[in-house]
């Protein structure tokens, strides 16, 4: 996955409280251009970091996924030399899934 730093992490952080939000609100919160946020949200959803939710398919509401939380938790490892970030994220997701299944 190729993330736009720091904007993508800022979007994930803004949604990390578990609440849903729209591009309009996120652009205001992050003080970023709405068009740019509108282009990043579907990309993050394609990566599985966000989910598009709402009463209608095109409602424009997004929420963070478990994978998005893992990416945010490992933010300091992104672009670290010698770290396969995608593999780190997948490994952490598997560990969380295993931990949840054993509870």
Chain segment 41-74, per-residue pLDDT in tens = 999 999 999 999 977 767 789 999 999 999 999 9
pLDDT value at residue 99: 80
Task: Give the whole-angstrom CA distance, residue 13 versus residue 11.
Answer: 5
> Would you state the structure tokens that stand for residue 96, as one six-digit string?
């969380």
Let me know if domain 7-102 sits in CATH 1.10.10.10: yes
Chain segment 14-46, per-residue pLDDT in tens = 999 999 999 999 999 999 999 999 999 999 999
With CA atoms as reference, report the closest residue to 73 among 9, 21, 7, 17. Answer: 9
pTM across the whole model: 0.90
């Amino acid at each position: 996955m190729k993330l736009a730093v720091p904007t993508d992490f800022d979007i994930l952080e803004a949604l990390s409280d578990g609440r849903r939000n729209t591009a309009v609100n996120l652009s205001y919160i992050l003080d970023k251009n709405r068009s740019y946020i509108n282009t990043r949200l579907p990309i993050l959803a394609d990566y599985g970091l966000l989910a598009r939710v709402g009463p209608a398919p095109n409602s424009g509401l997004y929420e963070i996924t478990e994978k998005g939380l893992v990416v945010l938790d490992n933010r300091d490892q992104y672009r670290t030399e010698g770290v396969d970030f995608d593999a780190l994220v997948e490994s952490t997701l598997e560990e969380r899934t295993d931990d949840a299944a054993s509870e």
